[in-house]
Structure 1
Amino acid sequence: MGQTLPKPALRPFLPEDVPLLAAIFTASIEELTGEDYSEVQQQAWMELAEGEEFGKRLAADLTLIATIEGSPVGFASLRGNDHIRMLYVHPAVSGHGIASMLVDALEKLAGGRGAQSLTVDASDTAEGFFAKRGYTAQQRNSITVNDEWLANTTMKKTLGAAR
């Protein structure tokens, strides 16, 4: 716990990142969401990283990669100008500011693109993280992922104060 990580960096997504980002995605779900989702729900969610569709979603959005010493440790994607579509951090670096660094960057990019606010459909696991950053709950959602129901919360943050 008390160990200091080398300084993280950000870079854009590259197509060759897909396998490593899929591994981060599944590890994050498997190891960090167990208190909020059942094993069956986690399995259905992790299956989203299988096949070509995962890479297509990453490529369709503005996806940033957080790295430590050149190795990806997390990623986040901005859909359009105003929606955080994905935010996943490897469990080994969870709690070390990687997610905050990624969201800070997406908030700046969204503001620079003219967005007045930013939304996210936060998992129950991530809801507290976003609330601490000034996002407020707008509505609860039940979504179907590979025939399993999962709950999340649409949250919103006004960006005007930061500009």
Structure 2
Amino acid sequence: MDERIVIRPYAPGDVDATIEIFLRAIREVSSHDYSAAQIEAWARVEDRALWAERRISRPGWIAEIDGQPVGFSDLTGDGCLDMMFVHPDFQGIGVATRLLRRAEKEALRLGFRRVYTEASITARPFFESKGFRVMTGQIVEKRGQSLENFLMEKFYA
């Protein structure tokens, strides 16, 4: 794992960095598992203010390397790891692992004994490697496109 990775709380000024990471991760990484039409439907942020409001309304974290945001995640009030995306240039060096560790620490602090997520085809192997299990496969609709993902969960003692 890259020791340069620093995890810090999300701040309002991170909105544009998180949008860029989100869009690039989907367009450049998830595009290996979804069609061009599915990617086009998924990789959009139509309301920057709503995006910013959602990010600041819950515990969230930014992963940085040398002061540059390279990933982000957040946790909803019911234990859902709603967002976790890593910039395409920083895949495979431990960014997601560090973000997940931080989210799990917060979940335990809040008293959750279960964390769940809706993992893309792309993210499923990562979550499985971290102890999550598939509860069910599902099809979600995004702007007229059907995308497969997986409802996954992990329990904590």
Shorter-chain TM band: over 0.9
- For residue 80 of structure 1, the aligned residue among 77, 88, 104 is 77
> 2: CA distance between counterparts of 1:40 and 1:50?
20
Residue type of the partner of 1:116?
Answer: R
Partner of 1:142: helix, strand, or coil? strand
Contact 1:141–1:151 (CA<8 Å) still a contact in 2? yes
1:117 and 2:107 aligned: no
> 2: CA distance between counterparts of 1:62 and 1:35?
30
Residue in structure 1 matched with residue 128 of structure 2 by the alignment: 131
Residue type of the partner of 1:96?
Answer: I
1:44 and 2:41 aligned: yes
Partner of 2:31: helix, strand, or coil? coil
Aligned-pair CA distance for 1:5: 5.3
1:91 and 2:88 aligned: yes
TM-score by length of 2: 0.94
> 2: CA distance between counterparts of 1:18 and 1:42?
21
Aligned-pair CA distance for 1:145: 1.3
Aligned-pair CA distance for 1:76: 0.4
- For residue 4 of structure 2, the aligned residue among 4, 7, 21 is 7
> 1: CA distance between counterparts of 2:80 and 2:119?
11
Identity within the alignment, %: 31
Query: In structure 2, do the counterparts of structure 1 residues 51 and 77 end up closer, same or farther at CA, with 3 Å as the change threshold?
Result: same
Residue in structure 1 matched with residue 62 of structure 2 by the alignment: 65
Aligned-pair CA distance for 1:54: 1.7
- CA distances 1:91-145 after superposition (whole Å, capped 9, x unpaired): 1110000000000110111011110111010001000000000100001111111
Contact 1:25–1:49 (CA<8 Å) still a contact in 2? no
1:28 and 2:25 aligned: yes
- For residue 140 of structure 1, the aligned residue among 137, 142, 147 is 137
RMSD: 1.5
Residue in structure 2 matched with residue 55 of structure 1 by the alignment: 52
Aligned-pair CA distance for 1:81: 4.5
Could you tell me which runs of 5 or more consecutive residues in structure 1 were left unpaired when the two chains were aligned. none
TM-score by length of 1: 0.91
